[in-house]
Structure 1
């Protein structure tokens, strides 16, 4: 565990900060005021489902954006072109069983790479997964599922990370 002010291994390229006030029923804000978000607890976990977002929505957005950037890195590196890509993050809370009071993340990324064949899309997704810091950080704890979406249907590509 690092101590306050101590850095993790490697060179830190960027750092972001947000402060939570009131947990899942409060709000978060960043020092630069670029982000200020009200939270409300979803009804599914005992809240009122009021106006506001939740940490899972923010995490879904962050995972989707990061993974889409990783796909773009692979495409640029390999000189691959395709239509406008789309990544949808789906993040849920789950419990292993009713006796376990702790929550676990359930993460799925739905990836659309129009104009690519299935084999090429799967290769790019596999390589992007290895580059994406969110996928690497989650590792086995959340078991990120990635679904390559083609047209109207979707097939799971690579199971869990």
Structure 2
């Protein structure tokens, strides 16, 4: 297999620290959200970063599949990432993907959505390990 891209990010301080990409483009302070007992404020957290990455990757996969099938679409992907606490196993991530697809009939949009989920690298990475709910929503 041929690696076509790779990058690095360094985290220091965990949920009360900093994340920096190797090129410095990503350089963010990370804090525990208020809902988890942190101070809150204008900081990011691992779940926000995951939601942003997954949404962007999924939208790219969706548009790639549409191009392959010669379908002209417009799309918007909203990823909601939750952190759950389970007594037996600890923390779990759950994801809901709300996807708007216009330019094709609903049945075609549903097929594109399923194919995107089958090919998106994020979806493949977490398959059978993270609960993902896919919703085709109206624009």
Give the aligned partner of residue 2 of structure 2. 11
Which of structure 1's runs of 4+ aligned residues deviate more than 6 A? none
1:74-93 correspondence runs (5 A): 74-82=65-73, 84-93=74-83
Give the aligned partner of residue 91 of structure 2. 103
Runs of 5+ consecutive residues of structure 1 not aligned to the other structure: 1-9, 152-161
1:101/1:42 CA distance change after superposition, 3 Å: farther
TM-score scaled by length of structure 1: 0.82
Q: Distance in 1 between matches of 2:72 and 2:10?
A: 40
Give the aligned partner of residue 155 of structure 1. none
Q: How far does the alpha carbon of each residue in 1:76-95 deviate from its partner, in whole angstroms, 9 at most, with x for none?
A: 1010012x310011111012
1:1-161 correspondence runs (5 A): 10-82=1-73, 84-96=74-86, 99-100=87-88, 102-151=90-139
Contact 1:41 1:50 in 2 (8 A): no
Supply the RMSD in Å over aligned alpha carbons: 1.3
Q: Distance in 2 between matches of 1:138 and 1:31?
A: 24
TM-score scaled by length of structure 2: 0.94
Q: Distance in 2 between matches of 1:44 and 1:141?
A: 25
Contact 2:7 2:22 in 1 (8 A): no
Larger radius of gyration: 1
Shift of 1:108: 1.1
SS at match of 2:90: coil
Runs of 5+ consecutive residues of structure 2 not aligned to the other structure: none
Shift of 1:51: 2.5
Q: Distance in 1 between matches of 2:111 and 2:32?
A: 38
Shift of 1:47: 1.2
